[in-house]
């Protein structure tokens, strides 16, 4: 090796800045997870139905979200809308684009889960007088979540990693803050090692809390 | 009273019900018998609106089931149904299975619903299993659970769709026992069954369905012991043979 000298003290000086960025990352991850879930649930039901306008809308959404680069999706919401003089802050653009991406992937995850639940479960619920939404909420979704749980949480973490693209539109998330700090000090390697470590810890934290939630929900 | 008027039902080009008319009177137990594909299960699913119909009308206590203006969810509270495949909710304990609809549909409080559920579990002899998940119950217990779940909505009518067909022979008895109990309590029941001996001993009336039509209807003694139609006679001969074969297999 030609003698790279690690120099960590600069990183610790900028650590509060990175923590603030990490907080933005956590916010966006959490919100985009919730928004993606709320959109994906009805879309999965529509996809499962296989016909009608809701099916066509959700199919187009899924196709776009899953077959175009996430960075392209972000640019559409930030620069694309900007071209029409709809200027939204980078925070909103990242939140919207990550939610959009999450919703597309989660729709397919949910749809896979739905097709694993026997059709008669729905008949049984409806026969007791439950409405269709009540049946989904109390009978279908709880069973579905058990099946898709891992894939679902993985998508949430993937959403967090996608949010790092926010740097490209000037968002001061963990990546944005790190990028800024290293551009002042030029200790690129050190900064991104620490940032990667923080991403890893957040991801593991999410996984761990999700697992606890799962245990509580299913008593297993 | 359930009035079934010239009901037609098709699955694509296949006509399953060809203008069936039938009345179910309050307090009676009506058995629907017939070969597989005769339309008896489909008819049952039409009565509580799980299946749409293409012609005719089904009227439950004066309300037309398939009228778009009918609130089907309200009407279904009058019509309990039990399926061949139990369809217990696998993520809920026995008690929660029974308490769910009273809480969500009948808007009872959580504690009210649980007390009601416990009462109905006791009623079908599953009181001790309240905390068990369905996967820990035998087929017969799951089927009794399904009966308790339907009863908890306090329906006026109970529909039974081949509820013993998926059970091991030694578990059939406990489910039939529960059904006899309901009959003794005066419940109005429509029972689709292959169990001819149950029909003979318990039914007030028996309807024999053949290729989507009511071929013969009358008291159990009339239809089962002295069938008039050649199709009925042929069907009953075959069923007797089948149950003899079954007996031999069980003994052997």
pLDDT tens across the length of chain A (220 residues): 567 788 788 888 888 999 999 999 999 999 999 999 999 999 999 998 888 999 999 999 999 999 999 999 999 999 998 888 888 999 999 999 999 999 999 999 999 999 999 999 999 999 999 999 999 999 999 999 889 999 999 999 999 999 999 999 989 999 999 998 888 888 888 889 999 999 999 999 999 999 998 888 876 5
Domains identified in chain B, total number: 1
CA distance A9 to B11: 75
In this structure, what token pair is assigned to residue B107?
A: 């808007």
In this structure, what token pair is assigned to residue A58?
A: 């959700």
Query: What CATH number corresponds to the domain at position A156?
Result: 1.10.3720.10
Return residues 130-159 of A near B (CB < 8 Å). Answer: 130-131, 134, 138-139, 142-143, 146
Cβ atoms of A101 and A39 within 8 Å: the answer is no
Domains identified in chain A, total number: 1
pLDDT of residue A49: 87
pLDDT of residue A219: 67
Phi, psi torsion values for B249, nearest 5 degrees: -65, -40
Which of B89, B107, B113 should be substituted to probe chain A, the one whose Cβ sees the most A Cβ atoms within 10 Å?
B89
**Full strand arrangement of the beta sheet holding B14-24:** B14-24, B2-11, B55-60, B63-64
Residue A123 to residue B105, Cβ atoms within 8 A? no
The 3 state secondary structure assigned to B23-82 is: EECCCCEEEEECCCCCCHHHHHHHHCCCCCCCEEEEEECCEECCCCCCCHHHHHCCEEEE
pLDDT tens string, chain B, 252 residues long: the values are 999 999 999 998 999 999 999 999 999 999 999 988 888 999 999 999 999 999 999 999 999 999 999 999 999 999 999 999 999 999 999 999 999 999 999 999 999 999 999 999 999 999 999 999 999 999 999 999 999 999 999 999 999 999 988 888 888 888 999 999 999 999 999 999 988 989 999 999 999 999 999 999 999 999 999 999 999 999 999 888 887 887 777 776
Residue A127 to residue B91, Cβ atoms within 8 A? no
Over residues B62-111, the pLDDT tens digits come to: 999 999 999 999 999 999 999 999 999 999 999 999 999 999 999 999 99
CA distance B176 to B188: 15
C-alpha distance from A42 to closest chain B C-alpha (Å): 20
Residue A139 to residue B89, Cβ atoms within 8 A? yes
Residues 6+ apart with CB under 8 A from B62: none
In-domain check, residue A2: no
pLDDT of residue A175: 93
Query: What CATH number corresponds to the domain at position B232?
Result: 3.40.50.300
Chain B residues in contact with A218 by the CB 8 A cut-off are 91
> CB of B71 within 8 Å of any CB in chain A?
no
Residue B33's nearest CA partner among B170, B169, B223, B178 is B223
Looking at the DSSP bridge assignments, the partners of residue B24 are B2
Cβ atoms of A93 and A74 within 8 Å: the answer is yes
In-domain check, residue A27: yes
Chain A residues in contact with B150 by the CB 8 A cut-off are 127-128
In-domain check, residue A174: yes
A142: closest chain B residue by CA: B91
Nearest by CB to residue B101, choosing from A123, A129, A218, is A129
CA distance B91 to B100: 12
**Domain coverage including residue B128:** 2-251
Looking at the DSSP bridge assignments, the partners of residue B7 are B20
**Domain coverage including residue A18:** 9-218
Q: What is the ipTM of this complex?
A: 0.89
In-domain check, residue A3: no
In-domain check, residue A42: yes
For residue B103, give the 3-state DSSP assignment.
Answer: helix
Which of A128, A142, A145 should be substituted to probe chain B, the one whose Cβ sees the most B Cβ atoms within 10 Å?
A128
């Amino acid at each position: 090796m030609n003698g790279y000298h690690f120099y960590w003290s600069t990183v610790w000086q900028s650590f509060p800045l990175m923590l603030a960025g990490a907080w933005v990352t956590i916010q966006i991850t959490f919100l985009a997870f919730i928004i993606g879930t709320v959109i994906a649930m009805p879309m999965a039901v529509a996809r499962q139905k296989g016909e009608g306008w809701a099916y066509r809308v959700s199919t187009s959404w899924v196709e776009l979200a899953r077959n175009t680069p996430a960075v392209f999706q972000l640019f559409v919401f930030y620069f694309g809308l900007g071209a029409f003089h709809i200027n939204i802050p980078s925070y909103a653009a990242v939140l919207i684009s990550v939610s959009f991406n999450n919703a597309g992937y989660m729709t397919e995850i949910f749809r896979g889960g739905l097709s694993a639940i026997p059709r008669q479960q729905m008949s049984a619920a409806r026969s007791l007088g439950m409405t269709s939404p009540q049946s989904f909420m109390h009978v279908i979704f709880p069973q579905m979540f058990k099946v898709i749980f891992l894939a679902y949480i993985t998508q949430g973490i993937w959403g967090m990693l996608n949010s790092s693209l926010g740097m490209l539109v000037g968002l001061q998330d963990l990546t944005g803050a790190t990028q800024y700090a290293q551009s002042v000090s030029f200790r690129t390697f050190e900064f991104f090692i620490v940032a990667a470590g923080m991403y890893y810890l957040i991801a593991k934290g999410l996984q761990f809390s999700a697992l606890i939630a799962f245990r509580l929900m299913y008593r297993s | 009273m359930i009035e079934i008027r010239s009901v037609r039902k098709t699955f694509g080009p296949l006509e399953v019900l060809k203008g069936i008319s039938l009345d179910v009177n309050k307090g009676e137990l009506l058995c629907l018998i017939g070969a597989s594909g005769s339309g008896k299960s489909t008819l049952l699913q039409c009565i509580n609106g799980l299946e749409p119909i293409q012609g005719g009308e089904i009227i439950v206590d004066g309300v037309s089931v398939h009228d778009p203006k009918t609130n089907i969810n309200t009407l279904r509270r009058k019509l309990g149904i039990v399926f061949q495949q139990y369809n217990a909710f696998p993520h809920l304990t026995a008690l929660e299975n029974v308490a769910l609809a009273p809480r969500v549909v009948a808007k009872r409080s959580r504690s009210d619903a649980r007390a009601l559920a416990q009462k109905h579990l006791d009623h079908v002899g599953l009181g001790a299993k309240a905390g068990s998940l369905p996967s820990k119950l035998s087929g017969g217990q799951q089927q009794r659970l399904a009966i308790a779940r339907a009863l908890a909505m306090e329906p006026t009518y109970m529909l039974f769709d081949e509820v013993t067909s998926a059970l091991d022979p030694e578990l059939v008895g406990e489910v039939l026992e529960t059904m006899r109990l309901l009959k003794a309590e005066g419940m109005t029941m429509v029972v689709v069954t292959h169990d001819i001996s149950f029909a003979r001993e318990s039914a007030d009336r028996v309807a024999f369905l053949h290729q989507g039509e009511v071929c013969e209807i009358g008291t159990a003694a009339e239809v089962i012991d002295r069938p008039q139609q050649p199709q009925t006679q042929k069907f009953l001969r075959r069923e007797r043979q089948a149950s003899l074969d079954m007996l031999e297999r069980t003994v052997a």
